[in-house]
Amino acid sequence: MNKTELIEKVAANTDLAKVDAKKAVEVALDAFKDALIKGDKIQLIGFGTFSINERPARTGINPATKQKINIPAKKVVKFKAGAELDAAVNK
């Protein structure tokens, strides 16, 4: 499912027009993004939890040249499925 399909699904399952559903989805996604940028955790009961993990800097190897390269530290988004979502997917 992509963003357009999500907007269509929201519009179909609510009394919202597609334009209003698009605004609602975009506002929700922006709120999620802003919370993660601040380092907050997003917990959606029954769905799952989004959080930020920090990966430390490390040394890797370029597979083409076999030279060692430095990989900088970075933050990554982590998702852990909630129990209800996990049970629904694994039926």
pLDDT digits (tens, 9 = 90+) for 27-45: 999 999 999 999 999 999 9
Q: Which residues contact 78 (CB under 8 A, 6 or more apart)?
A: 50, 51, 52, 53
Q: Name the CATH superfamily housing domain 48-91.
A: IHF-like DNA-binding proteins (4.10.520.10)
Q: Which residues contact 48 (CB under 8 A, 6 or more apart)?
A: 79, 80, 81, 82, 85
Which residue type is seen at 65?
A: T
pLDDT tier at 8 (50, 70, 90 boundaries)? very high
Which residue in the block uniquely carries the two structure tokens 């597609």? 18
pLDDT tier at 89 (50, 70, 90 boundaries)? very high
pLDDT tier at 57 (50, 70, 90 boundaries)? very high
Parse the chain into domains and list their residue ranges.
1-40, 48-91
**What is the pLDDT of the chain when averaged over all its residues?**
95
